[in-house]
Amino acid sequence: MGSELTMATTARVTMAARTEPVGPALTFDDGPDPRGTPAVLDALARTGAPATFFVIAPCAERHPDLIRRTEADGHRIALHCDRHVRHTELAEAAIRRDTERALERLARLGVQPSLWRVPWGIQTSETEAIAAEFDLMLVGWDVDTHDWRGDSAEQMFAATGDELSGGAVVLAHDGIGPGARRADCAQTAAYVRLTARHAAGARLAFTTL
**Buried b or exposed e, range 96-116, using 16+ CB within 10 angstroms:** bebbeebbebbeebebebebb
Question: Is there a contact between 76 and 209 (Cβ–Cβ < 8 Å)?
Answer: yes
**Of 75, 173, 174, 198, which is the active-site residue?**
173
84 given a catalytic annotation: no
Sheet holding 51-56, edge to edge: 137-138, 115-116, 76-81, 51-56, 25-31, 169-173, 143-144
Nearest to 199 by CA among 150, 166, 154: 166
Answer yes or no: 173 catalytic: yes
Evaluated on CA atoms 82, 182, 142, 38, the torsion sign reads: positive
Distance CA 80, CA 117 (A): 5
From the list 29, 33, 98, 144, the catalytic residue is 29
Tally of CB atoms within 10 A around 50: 17
Give the residue numbers annotated as catalytic, written as ranges.
29, 173
